[in-house]
A and B are shown apart, each in its own frame.
Chain A
Amino acid sequence: MTLHVEVVIADRELWAGEANMVIAKTLEGDIGILTGHPPVLGILAEGSIVRVLDPEGSGGEDGAGRGVTAAVSGGFLSVADDRVSILAVDAQLGSEVDTSAARSAADEGSGDEDSTEVRYARAQLRAAGEQA
């Protein structure tokens, strides 16, 4: 049994596929979803990371778990019947992050620690595997 995961933003589907686990951060804290999870509708923390671990789970050549990591600026997580939908206001896959742009966005707004932009930029860096 695997989870069917969709990461969607307003104008397109960012990623869809099968996974054996999804890790996200809601307002109440981290949540890990495996198959058979009861239905949940939660608010994603602003500027957080969603990790989708693929069915083989054990990882690629470099030992890191495969699957995808996405930075989300905010939005929703809905889980029902082994279907996980991430409805993000804005999101980016770790592999597609423009690290230099995200870095400058994070630095630029660093005076304003709590703004969504800064948190989102930091999440993008983390999703791309960089220090934030």
Chain B
Amino acid sequence: MAASLRAVRQRIRAVQSIGKITRAQELIASSRIIRAQQRMRDAEPYARELTRAVEAVVSRTSTLNHPLTAEPESVTRAAILVLTSDSGFAGAFNTNVLREEARLLRTLRDRNVEPVPFVAGRKGIGWHRARDIEMAHTYNGFSVRPAVSDATAITNDLLEAFDKKAEDGGVDEIYIVRTQFVSMLTQRPLVARLLPLEIEESSGEPEGGPLPMYEFEPSPDIVLDRLLPQYVEGRIFYAMLESAASELASRRRAMKAATDNANDLTERLTREANNARQAEITQEISEIVGGANALADVTSESE
């Protein structure tokens, strides 16, 4: 009996210290997520204005034949940019993104397109290594706090691959697999094609009112030339910020659940320990009483 009481107490201590760790992780994530959301809000004006400018040029240049917007005749290789996290303890965050990627990999292979993964985040890199999937580029060290320079580095690699012909190791399409931050409670894995840009003909008015009739300096073509890479970088940077906020939200939730579970478990184990202790005491008392009775019997008999 004494052995089981010791074992239970040991487990309580272990569970309590796990609970302390997950609680600390939860608090760290909560404090960081506020900053991450602020960073998303700060980046919004740039993303919005850039989108509007691209819409303005694209809607004006009817005979659009820019390499970044033209549909390729045939697609043989496609780059996939995957945004995952550097550290674990984030619930289903990485699993969800990587599941979407796995689906995209299958779809591409079914179309006879060779996927070329560009992977950001240590968890994603590990996932690809474990499955022996070759990666073109890997990036890590910034998943919770991406800087503009990280987005620039990724964009340059992607655009360089996009510039080259498929035969020379280039790609015809670029996809991005990442997590969309809907709210603190909802984050959604999302697959989108980054390049060539999908141009939608719409008859409705664009967001923020009709587009003004811009004059272009020096010319629409040159403006588009410069604008598109900046736009792609902006999109990637914003996606990285969303992914960071999603990672933190997901971690906070996962760690909260883990802390709650640890607390429940501690409570249950404490009860178990109390029962064991009580049983031990009861047994000792009955042993003493039994012993005393036996002694009393012996003395009364001898009288």
Q: A interface vs B, CB < 8 Å?
A: 6, 8-13, 26-28, 31, 38-43, 75-76, 78, 80-81, 85, 87, 89-90
Query: B49 touching A87 by the CB < 8 A rule?
Result: yes
Across the interface, B223 reaches (CB within 8 A) one of A11, A31, A43, namely A43
**With A26-B217, A40-B217, A43-B223 in contact, do A13 and B42 touch (Cβ < 8 Å)?**
yes
Q: Which residues of A contact B215 (CB under 8 A)?
A: 38-41
How many Cβ-Cβ contacts under 8 Å join chain A to chain B?
A: 83
| Separation of A43 and B50 alpha carbons in the complex (Å) | 13
Q: Which residues of B contact A38 (CB under 8 A)?
A: 215
Beta-carbon nearest neighbor of B227 in chain A: A76
Q: B interface vs A, CB < 8 Å?
A: 39, 42-43, 45-46, 49-50, 52-53, 56-57, 147-148, 151, 212-218, 222-223, 226-227, 230, 233-234, 237
Query: A89 touching B49 by the CB < 8 A rule?
Result: no
Query: B223 touching A41 by the CB < 8 A rule?
Result: yes
List 18 contacting pairs A-B, 8 Å CB cutoff, sorted by A: A6-B45, A9-B46, A11-B237, A13-B45, A26-B218, A27-B217, A27-B222, A28-B218, A40-B214, A40-B215, A41-B215, A42-B218, A43-B217, A43-B223, A76-B230, A78-B214, A80-B214, A81-B212
Across the interface, A39 reaches (CB within 8 A) one of B39, B213, B226, namely B213
For the complex formed, measure the closest distance between the CB of A6 and the CB atoms of chain B, giving whole angstroms: 6
Q: Which residues of A contact B57 (CB under 8 A)?
A: 41
Q: Which residues of B contact A41 (CB under 8 A)?
A: 53, 56-57, 214-217, 223
Query: B42 touching A11 by the CB < 8 A rule?
Result: yes
Query: B227 touching A10 by the CB < 8 A rule?
Result: no
For the complex formed, measure the closest distance between the CB of B253 and the CB atoms of chain A, giving whole angstroms: 26
| Separation of A80 and B60 alpha carbons in the complex (Å) | 15
For the complex formed, measure the closest distance between the CB of B11 and the CB atoms of chain A, giving whole angstroms: 47
Query: A10 touching B148 by the CB < 8 A rule?
Result: yes
Q: Which residues of A contact B213 (CB under 8 A)?
A: 39
| Separation of A38 and B256 alpha carbons in the complex (Å) | 55
Query: B214 touching A39 by the CB < 8 A rule?
Result: yes
Query: 6 closest pairs, A vs B, by CB?
Result: A42-B217, A39-B212, A80-B212, A12-B42, A41-B214, A8-B46
Query: B45 touching A43 by the CB < 8 A rule?
Result: no
Beta-carbon nearest neighbor of B237 in chain A: A10
Given A10-B148, A11-B46, A41-B216, 19 other A-B residues pairs in contact with their CB atoms under 8 A: A6-B49, A8-B45, A9-B46, A9-B148, A10-B46, A10-B234, A11-B147, A13-B46, A26-B217, A27-B218, A39-B215, A40-B217, A41-B57, A41-B223, A42-B218, A76-B227, A76-B230, A78-B53, A80-B214
Q: Which residues of B contact A8 (CB under 8 A)?
A: 45-46, 49
| Separation of A90 and B147 alpha carbons in the complex (Å) | 13
Beta-carbon nearest neighbor of B57 in chain A: A41
| Separation of A78 and B184 alpha carbons in the complex (Å) | 34
Of A6, A10, A31, A75, most buried by chain B (CB within 10 Å of CB) is: A10
Of B42, B49, B217, most buried by chain A (CB within 10 Å of CB) is: B217
Q: Which residues of B contact A9 (CB under 8 A)?
A: 46, 148
**With A27-B218, A76-B230 in contact, do A42 and B46 touch (Cβ < 8 Å)?**
no
Query: B49 touching A11 by the CB < 8 A rule?
Result: no
Q: Which residues of B contact A6 (CB under 8 A)?
A: 45, 49
For the complex formed, measure the closest distance between the CB of A77 and the CB atoms of chain B, giving whole angstroms: 8
Query: A31 touching B217 by the CB < 8 A rule?
Result: yes
For the complex formed, measure the closest distance between the CB of B286 and the CB atoms of chain A, giving whole angstroms: 73
| Separation of A8 and B237 alpha carbons in the complex (Å) | 14
Q: Which residues of A contact B43 (CB under 8 A)?
A: 10-12
Q: Which residues of A contact B218 (CB under 8 A)?
A: 26-28, 42-43
| Separation of A26 and B97 alpha carbons in the complex (Å) | 42
Beta-carbon nearest neighbor of A39 in chain B: B212
Q: Which residues of B contact A76 (CB under 8 A)?
A: 53, 223, 226-227, 230
| Separation of A14 and B188 alpha carbons in the complex (Å) | 31
For the complex formed, measure the closest distance between the CB of B69 and the CB atoms of chain A, giving whole angstroms: 16
Q: Which residues of B contact A12 (CB under 8 A)?
A: 42-43
Beta-carbon nearest neighbor of B226 in chain A: A43
